[in-house]
Amino acid sequence: MKQEILDIFHRRHACHSFVPDRTIPREDLDFILEAGRLSPSSFGLEQWKFIVVSDPAHRAALQEACFGQPQVGNASHVVVILAKVADLAPDTDYVQGLLAREYPGEALAPALVNYRQFHAMTDVPAWSVTQCHIAAANMMTAAAAIGIDSCAIGGFLPDRIRELLDLDPERYAVALILPLGYCADPVPAKQRLPLSDLVEYR
């Protein structure tokens, strides 16, 4: 089991060229999105929203907003991961409802006090984006587990993405663009620094 999991991580890579006429089955796409939905989040607030773009013209427009990166245009589907912002204010129905779920009964009142203090001192859009990256990582790993490739794209024009998707800038920040599909090239060997360079035990 351990080796099987590591094999998935070795298989996952940044695909820069997808087979343009090969479409991900809806069942597999839903599996990947479900991996994102089930991801952990700070305070249990599920800071993400997923917009799935499959129409070729819309993908082409997204590609332009991603500095022309071709994998956006030739992917089977592109998931635009949005980070909630306005909904995360302490008094919204969204936060109140999810905190009541995460901290039932007498635990809710101190949790709300803690969250208000946290929210007041935090760069909320940046924090929300980092939470979305957790979901994105799980989605990419889930995709690799079923033979589907991906490429996390952080280089894009946020205002243009919001314009294309008709998004309220007060409500959402654009966290990540995630093209999904079947890579046109062989899976390359994984290149990573050795664990000994990265880990320090104290």
Q: Tens digit of pLDDT for each residue in 99-139? A: 999 999 999 999 999 999 999 999 999 999 999 999 999 99
Residue of 138, 148, 146 whose CA lies nearest to 183: 148
The per-residue pLDDT for 109 is 95
- Spatial neighbors of 123 by CB under 8 A, at least 6 apart, are none
Average pLDDT over residues 186-199: 93
The Cα–Cα gap between 110 and 88 comes to 17
Rounded to 5°, the CA angle 66-76-183 comes to: 85
Measured distance between the N- and C-terminal CA atoms of the chain, rounded to whole angstroms: 29
- Spatial neighbors of 202 by CB under 8 A, at least 6 apart, are none
Residue of 30, 72, 42 whose CA lies nearest to 54: 72
Pairing assessment for the beta strands 172-181 and 48-53 based on DSSP bridges:
unpaired
Average pLDDT over residues 52-74: 97
The Cα–Cα gap between 176 and 180 comes to 13
Name the band, by pLDDT with cuts 50, 70 and 90, for residue 97. very high
Give the residue ranges of DSSP H helices in the chain: 2-11, 26-37, 56-65, 70-74, 93-102, 108-120, 124-145, 158-165, 195-198
Average pLDDT over residues 80-85: 98
Contact between 108 and 158 (Cβ < 8 Å): no
The per-residue pLDDT for 89 is 98
The per-residue pLDDT for 68 is 97
Query: Which CATH number does the domain 10-87+123-188 belong to among 3.20.20.70, 3.40.50.1820, 3.40.109.10, 3.40.190.10?
Result: 3.40.109.10
Say which residue the tokens 């203090």 belong to: 117
